[in-house]
Chains A and B, each alone.
Chain A
Amino acid sequence: MNATTLVTPRQALAPAQRAVDLIGTDLTEKSLKLHLEGLPGVDAVGLEQRAAGLGTRSIKTTSKAWALDTIIKLIDLTTLEGADTPGKVRSLVAKAVNPDPSDPTTPRVAAVCVYGDMVPAAVEALGSSWSNGKDDGINVAAVATAFPSGRASLPVKLADTADAVANGADEIDMVIDRGAFLSGRYGLVFDQIVAVKEACRREDGTYAHLKVILETGELNTYDNVRKASWLAILAGGDFIKTSTGKVAPAATLPVTLLMLEVVRDWHKLTGERIGVKPAGGIRSSKDAIKYLVTVAETVGEEWLQPHLFRFGASSLLNDVLLQRQKLTTGRYSGPDYVTID
Chain B
Amino acid sequence: MTDATASPDKVTGPTPDNAIRDAERESGPMLAADGTPLKKSLARAQRRQKMRALGLVAPLLIFILITFIIPIGQMLFRSVENQIVPDTLPRTVEAVESWDASSGEPPSQEVYSAMARDLVVAEGLKIHTRVGSRLNYEAAGLSSLFRQAGRDVDETGEPFLDAFEESNEAWEEGSTWVSLLTTEEYQSEIAEWQARSDEVGRSFDEPAVDVAYREGFEEALPRTTDMFSDFAYVIGSEDGESPLEEEPWPLVYLSLYEDLEANPEAIELFEGEQRALVEEAMAATEGMGPYDYRAFFEEIDEEWLEPDIWETLQVFSGPYTSGYFLSAADRELTPDGVERVPENERIYGTLFLRTMYMSLAITFSCILLGYPVAWLLANLPLRTANVLMILVLLPFWTSLLVRTSAWKVLLQNQGVINDLLVWLNIVGDGNRLALINNQTGTIVAMTHILLPFMILPLYSVMKTIPPSYLRAAKSLGATNWTAFWRVYFPQSVPGIGAGSILVFILAIGYYITPEIVGGEDGVFISNRIAYHISTSLNWGLAAALGSILLALVLALYWLYDRIVGIDNVKLGG
Check if A and B associate: no
